[in-house]
Amino acid sequence: MDVVNPATGERVDTYETQTEEDVDAALDRATDAFGEWRERPMRERERLLESAGDVLRENKREYAETITREMGKPITQAVAEIEKCAWACDHYAEHASSYLGADHHPSPPGSTVKTVYEPLGPVLAVMPWNFPFWQVFRFAAPYVTAGNVGLLKHASNVPGCAKAIEEVFREAGYPEDVFQSLLIPSDLVDEMLEDDRVRAATLTGSGPAGRSVASTAGESLKKTVLELGGSDPCVVLDDADLDAAAETGAWARNQNGGQSCIAAKRFVVVESVYDEFLDRFVDEIDSYVVGDPMDEETDVGPQAREGLMEEVHEQVEESVEAGANVVIGGEPMDRDGQFYPPTVLTDVPEGCPADSEEVFGPVAAVYEVEDEAAAIEKANDTQFGLGATVWTEDRERGENLARQIDAGCVYVNQLVKSDPRVPFGGVKESGYGRELAEVGIKEFLNEKTVWVE
């Protein structure tokens, strides 16, 4: 696996790809490790997770630079990603015991009935490159602490991140093979899913990848959790704080180079404030510094790979050919590296790529609609259902509209984000299952009823 710095186009490292025989040996080790790990007292697992958080903080600059070098995230955002991973470790180190305590049920006199939560075994995680540490810790912090063992198949352009994450667990003092990173091609994933030693799987990625994992795992009756794509609406109503909506909305679209499933992608604005919002929105985006991701002043770095930038540009070109108007941006930047400028499209026709597809880059589609009812209709006019935002000064109105939007999470007067304290996941083509919070840690457990007479 070659690591190519997307900011320069230079190859910076090479990693040896593991083979089918390596996978078989790793599965044997994972099975053996699970037998011992599941018996560890919960408090010991929590202490180890707390140590993992400490390792992340102690080495955050080093890990952040690995992220930036491999996929181009601006360094300040990469440091923040590592800090967020440490926060997830802190959260489950503090709350795992209470989340997984036995639930007692009504029962006849003289009997005791309860539900206990037991781990399943080795869990395969197929993870993406866009948040190469956070996506993994969102899986590993709860599931491994619950007593499962982790097998990571990371994206092929971030092998250094995959090995660094394995290092975090090793440095924190985890038993060997409780967490393993496998540098394998995607064509070995199906074989792992079919193997009896793998008990469950989770994937964050594209719709086609999710369908493939779900289909193969389903043939073996293995549970999966899928977090797939999104085309999140950002609804701006007539009573919104337009400065806040424009500032936060612009960042929600462009952080991480726009390469986020939960980025605000479709801005649905009522006509009475449309012109004023658009002006402020474009001014905010125009202020962003696009450049070297290792520079602390950079807001937007390169797209993670050459092919990814080309795909974004093709979607923009096809949308413009269909009638969309480019307000700002719209062409690859004339410089080394995979740099695409923050772009705003208006007059976006129904059915064009910017309207109907997930655009995984810094491209915002802005719509003018008549009123609140039309805004909600447009917000729901998508195959996706990951997140959404609503901007209004009337919090009761915002909550009412949040209930009308088909999404796994809706934030009122705030950007969509994943937070260890609350469940995260989507509906429709954005996947199923939930990560984080209490419901997340219970996804890959046997909820066993124990009746004692």
Token duo for residue 343: 């772009």
Q: H/E element holding 282?
A: helix 271-286
Tell me whether residue 261 is one of the annotated catalytic residues: yes
Question: Cα-atom radius of gyration of the chain, to the nearest Å?
Answer: 23
Max distance between CA atoms of the chain, in angstroms, equals 78
DSSP state of 187: G
Q: Which of 101, 90, 103, 99 is nearest to 46 (CA)?
A: 90
DSSP state of 339: -
DSSP state of 424: B
227, 284, 429, 435: the catalytic one is 227
- The single residue listed with the structure tokens 């995959």 is 162
Which residues are CB-neighbours of 30 under 8 A, at least 6 positions away? 122, 149, 151, 177, 180, 197
Tell me whether residue 161 is one of the annotated catalytic residues: no
Each as own residue / partner, the long-range contacts of residues 204-207 (CB below 8 Å, 24 or more positions apart, any chain) are: 204/126, 204/127, 204/128, 204/135, 204/228, 204/261, 205/126, 205/127, 205/128, 207/429
Cβ pair 417, 407 in contact under 8 A: no
Q: Is 107 helix (H, G, I), strand (E, B) or coil?
A: coil
In 90-101, which positions are buried (b, 16+ CB within 10 angstroms) versus exposed (e)?
bbbbebbeebbe
Which residues are CB-neighbours of 95 under 8 A, at least 6 positions away? 438
Q: In angstroms, rounded to a whole number, what is the distance separating the alpha carbons of residues 213 and 204?
A: 11
89, 161, 234, 261: the catalytic one is 261
Which residues are CB-neighbours of 317 under 8 A, at least 6 positions away? none
Catalytic residues: 227, 261
